[in-house]
Chain A
């Protein structure tokens, strides 16, 4: 269950914890008050060299916090840290893991003693905008320009997916390292499709015809999504809008341009999905979460659902052995779609940061450099069945059916990939879009009203001087 900010998989236990930890509202803010910034003693940096590009002090301890979600924490302890230790055996590594990044680490930022490396993921990740706005993020540009861990002739910059750099850049500084490549699509069981003679649709007409066939067959419901978390659906909706109207649809939305949500492409896409909501959803979809709907799919109660490439790993305990996950990309909608068939949404996730005010930011960057080595990334991929952002790290490794399908889709898409960042920049806009999308799919909002509503929130944010704005 990789908790990307995009898909807040919230386990029952996490919820319980958050409920139990908040006894009194009044004391809430007070328990995390700003402290006086301690006088920061400039860390005595060792000399830099090709082998030690950041000047890491060999015996300086390194404190690491891992988000303990669907990927667990074993990868950090068993893969990344031993690798780091081969080079710095004297540096003591303090490994920590939590499901609640914010609760544990927010007070430490406010107190001026953050740790050195953080996997800032999960449902309760720390807001990147707030951290960037306050200068808490180490500029990782030196990391990009450093030689890779394996090959002194190659720069880290050239060894990773360029989208990582684009997406991890705040205010012109590369400060967030997405480690895993999430690939989004609509997922189905190859077995179920083969047995029933169904084929993955390439156009919207084929898609609705397939939904109709499945519905009539009575064998299972055609479509579902994580109804409690409608962001799973707006992901497909936005990708489709970008396909219809071109990438600038998403760029304008990210940049809070006037009327960015209410464009024709968005209307077309919202209308199509509202039709799915009205006709083809599995009963009760609106009240089910991601695991419940995914489990329904594993039980062959529903044919298709939108999700990301973490799905297979997340469901590994409930999926029948011969289920054979596959994904297809958002279908062609009109004959004049601006982006070709194959266009898909892929975006780096599982975000690592190095706090600028930590005790050992050099060590932190070096740790990230170790993580980005081919060996570390390849071992990671194999352990948690997923694709990292390190180019070629999956080569020669055995891929499972779903991961292979997703990787193939990326290869087929070539340069036709899209992404969006507004939901990470503006958490309030995200919540509004989530609420409104749920309403769109259950018929509570017409496509027009749906887009107007989100547009209104976007305008509100645009005019709110307390919220920092970002551009891409």
Chain B
């Protein structure tokens, strides 16, 4: 028994140490810094207790960022999952018999393509797509038709939806593949049997596909939720004024960056980081609770 423990411990020692040094310690430090007025250059920051948190809760931009994260938390998983389920269904059982629509192999690659691109590349790409003059991929045709150009990234009432659109565009491919894998593990005779019983595509989807994929959908929901909470690069790179115009697309991570590296308020930025930490932990616990459910064996 002792030997076995020693054996396990010896294997765990190195990774646990690394984890403590590179993951836990920075978090603990961040908690400490969040209670100082550190401006990033001093060797001896002043301890100020919870002042940063007080300031944070009365900061309008913080609440804007939180509300954007919250909106993303609801909409990003919802839209992405609905779309990818739909596409996965079409690609796998949407055609005649139990098969995908024509050209489904090709589509699968096309759907997955955005996933291969780095976030920063996607952001720069869409900056060009959304350009407001006639060189923009979307505005060019509009203007050629004599319509006014749309400020996809420059109109504060539109910009957030543009960001959401790009995030969905990038995420869908991965979940199409994930759901396709889930579908592939559902025995084909279930679909055949249902079809023989006269089920249309509609009931095939809602009566068989969705219930049997429920586990996978939950995993997708948790992943997408975390993506929605820590979104940063796409907003920072793609939007005007890093989260603008007029803070209309800003998110918590962007505010952390802005406060730390532009305002040199490292203490305040750490306080934001601590808040975000609790949001993410809270979401993860909630998600795990909600997803406890009996599995369907097949």
Contacts and interface: CB of A to CB of B under 8 A. Distances in A.
A305 B270 CA distance: 40
Contact of B264 (A12, A15, A127): A127
Contact of A130 (B26, B34, B39, B256): B39
B246 A439 contact: yes
A435 B43 contact: no
Interface in A416-431: 427-428, 431
B123 to A, nearest CB: 7
Contacts of A15: 120, 124, 236-237
B interface, size bucket? 35 or more
Contacts of B139: 284
Interface in B263-298: 263-270, 273, 276-277
A438 B270 contact: no
A159 to B, nearest CB: 31
Interface stretch (B8-16, B106-114, B149-157): B149-157
Interface residues of A, number: 60
A411 to B, nearest CB: 36
Nearest to A32: B40
A335 interface: no
B214 interface: no
B102 interface: no
B269 A28 contact: yes
B40 A25 contact: no
A434 interface: yes
B33 to A, nearest CB: 5
Contacts of A286: 132, 151, 154-155, 245
A86 B52 CA distance: 51
Contacts of B207: none
Nearest to A283: B149
B241 A434 contact: yes
B240 A28 contact: no
A405 B145 CA distance: 41
Given A29-B273, A30-B30, A33-B29, A106 B41 contact: yes
B53 interface: no
A19 B266 contact: no
A138 B76 CA distance: 50
B244 interface: yes
A439 B124 CA distance: 24
Interface stretch (A34-42, A150-158, A324-332): A34-42
A436 B262 contact: no
Interface string A10-34: 0010011011101011111111111
A19 B241 contact: no
- Counting chain B CB atoms within 10 Å of each CB, the highest count among A15, A111, A112 belongs to A15
A259 to B, nearest CB: 21
A55 to B, nearest CB: 26
Interface string B10-52: 0000000000000001110110011001111111110010010
A6 to B, nearest CB: 14
Contacts of A131: 41
Contacts of B277: 26
B205 interface: no
A413 interface: no
Interface of A: 12, 15-16, 18-20, 22, 24-37, 102-103, 106, 109-112, 124, 126-127, 129-131, 133-134, 136, 227-229, 283-288, 292, 296, 427-428, 431, 434-436, 438-439, 442, 444, 464, 466
24 contacts: A15-B237, A16-B120, A16-B124, A18-B237, A18-B257, A25-B230, A25-B257, A28-B270, A29-B270, A106-B41, A126-B264, A127-B40, A127-B264, A227-B154, A283-B148, A284-B132, A286-B154, A287-B133, A287-B153, A427-B263, A427-B264, A431-B241, A438-B154, A466-B51
Given A22-B236, A26-B273, A287-B152, 16 more contacts: A15-B120, A19-B119, A29-B256, A29-B260, A34-B38, A127-B263, A130-B264, A284-B131, A284-B149, A286-B155, A287-B131, A434-B241, A435-B244, A438-B246, A466-B48, A466-B51
